[in-house]
Structures are given as C-alpha cells and as structure tokens.
C-alpha cells in the first residue's frame, strides 16, 4: 500500500452508477495537489478498465453499484487493487454493510450522509494506509442544519418541481427542456443538497413534498391567482 509520506497526491477513482453522486464526490474530493480524482466509473466494466490502466490509491465504491454488489466486485478488482484500498459507501444506514466491509478486509466504510469534510478525512485515511470504520458521524452545527428554502434560486425551484413530476434527474432534464441537460440538473442538485442539508435526489423529492411545496413561489402565485 502506497503511503503519502513523500507528499505525493492521493489518487482516487469514484465508482457510482448515479452521475450526480459521482460529480458530487468529485467536487468534494478533487483538491490538488493533496487529492486528485483520476477517474469516474458508472459500471463495473468502466471501473475495471480504470484500475487496470493505472491503479489508484483509493477506490470510492458504491455498495449498490448498478446491477452489481460492490462487495462482490472486490475479488474481480484484487489483481490490481487490494481490498485495503477500497472505501465502500452506502446510503443504507442499518444494513449491516459495515460489518461485511470489515470482514472483507476493506480499507473503510462511509455513509453517503457524511459531509464533505468527513468524506475527505475518510479518503485521506484510507489513502495513507489506515482503516476508516467510524462508529459515529458528526452532527452539523444547528445553524448549518437549517434548511434554507428562501435561498433556492428560480432555477433550483424549477428543478425541484420537475424532479417530483419526473421521478429522476434524467427525466427532469427532459421535462425542463432547452437549457437543462442532465449535467445542468446535476449541478443544480448539488447546490440544492447544500441549502437543504441533505443528499440524494429521493430525499430532496420527499423534502419538497413535505415542506417545500407550501414554500414554493410558483405554488404561492397559483394560490393567489
């Protein structure tokens, strides 16, 4: 396992089948010269091609990786990436996945609810040869945990409405039409996650329906007409 004792950057490959998650992780982790994201993989084939070409120091691997179980990919990755270089991430808090990751000899385990600082700490820990299996996750300060609905832009409100109607970011982009590519919607979602203190488009949809609908300027205008 390469250690960062020489001051070299920790090289990272991110493997997740959701584009907005990959882009969100890259935005948080690409911090040259300390950490460099060298590749993004949307499926097992892309992941194996990336690690065979130039094995990274850390693979950030989604547990539910498309049609593959992330843990089942470990053996296929082993000729190029030892298990201790893998940081497994999951959205499911009570699935027992952390225990399975430990049993598999992985470098670490992380819940997707973790904030960016915690994420970077996890990657740097695994990237320098140590293991990362936290028992607790830090809670944000009260001021940072408030949902800032009033800070959402016109475009972000539009993305929220389209997302709830279309049920996926890709379909939301199609529903919004010109000027809204899948990447544009993904970028708006990253901003929305920060303002609503959450991650994941399904969580955002639930929040909009539970809290945001009554605060949506478009809905208020409709009621006033």
How far apart, in whole angstroms, are the C-alpha atoms of residue 75 and residue 214? 49
Q: What pLDDT sits at residue 148?
A: 83
How far apart, in whole angstroms, are the C-alpha atoms of residue 119 and residue 89? 10
Q: What pLDDT sits at residue 221?
A: 58
| pLDDT of 142 over the 60 cut | no
221 torsion bin: left (phi>0), alpha (psi -120 to 50), beta (else): alpha
Q: Tell which wins on pLDDT, 79 or 181.
A: 79
Structural domain boundaries in the chain: 4-127, 142-213
Residues 36-72: tens digit of each pLDDT: 999 999 999 999 999 998 899 999 999 878 666 778 8
Residues 152-183: tens digit of each pLDDT: 889 999 999 999 999 888 899 999 988 788 88
Q: Of the given ranges (31-40, 106-115, 150-159, 188-197), which has the lowest mean pLDDT?
A: 188-197
Helix axes 182-196, 19-29, angle to 10 degrees: 60
| pLDDT of 136 over the 90 cut | no
Class at the top of the CATH hierarchy for domain 142-213: mainly alpha
Which is nearest to 131 in space by CA: 105, 97, 94, 113? 105
Q: What pLDDT sits at residue 195?
A: 82
Helix axes 182-196, 169-176, angle to 10 degrees: 110
What is the band of 139 on the pLDDT scale with cuts at 50, 70, 90?
A: low
Which CATH fold topology does 4-127 show?
A: Rossmann fold (3.40.50)
| C-alpha dihedral (172, 17, 103, 113), degrees to nearest 10 | -30
Pairing of strands 58-62, 86-90: parallel
Q: What pLDDT sits at residue 218?
A: 87
Phi–psi pair at 144, nearest 5 degrees = -85, -15
* C-beta of residue 114 within 8 angstroms of C-beta of residue 91: no
Tracing tokens 């990751």 back to the chain, one arrives at 101
């Amino acid at each position: 396992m390469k250690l960062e004792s020489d001051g070299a950057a920790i090289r990272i490959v991110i493997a997740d089948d959701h584009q907005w998650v990959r882009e969100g992780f890259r935005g948080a982790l690409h911090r040259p010269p300390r950490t460099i994201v060298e590749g993004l993989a949307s499926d097992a084939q892309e992941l194996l091609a990336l690690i065979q070409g130039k094995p990274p120091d850390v693979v950030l691997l989604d547990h539910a990786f498309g049609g593959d179980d992330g843990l089942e990919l470990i053996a296929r990755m082993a000729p190029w990436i030892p298990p201790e270089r893998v940081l497994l991430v999951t959205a499911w808090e009570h699935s027992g996945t952390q225990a399975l990751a430990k049993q598999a000899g992985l470098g670490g385990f992380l819940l997707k609810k973790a904030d960016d600082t915690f994420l970077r700490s996890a990657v740097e820990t695994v990237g320098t040869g140590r293991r990362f299996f936290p028992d607790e996750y830090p809670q944000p300060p009260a001021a940072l945990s408030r949902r800032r609905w009033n800070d959402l832009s016109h475009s972000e409100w539009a993305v929220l409405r389209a997302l709830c109607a279309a049920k996926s970011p890709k379909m939301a982009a199609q529903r919004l039409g010109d000027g809204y590519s899948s990447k544009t919607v993904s970028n708006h979602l990253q901003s929305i996650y920060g303002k609503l203190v959450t991650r994941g488009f399904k969580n955002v949809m639930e929040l909009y329906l539970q809290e945001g609908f009554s605060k949506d300027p478009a809905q208020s205008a409709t009621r006033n007409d």
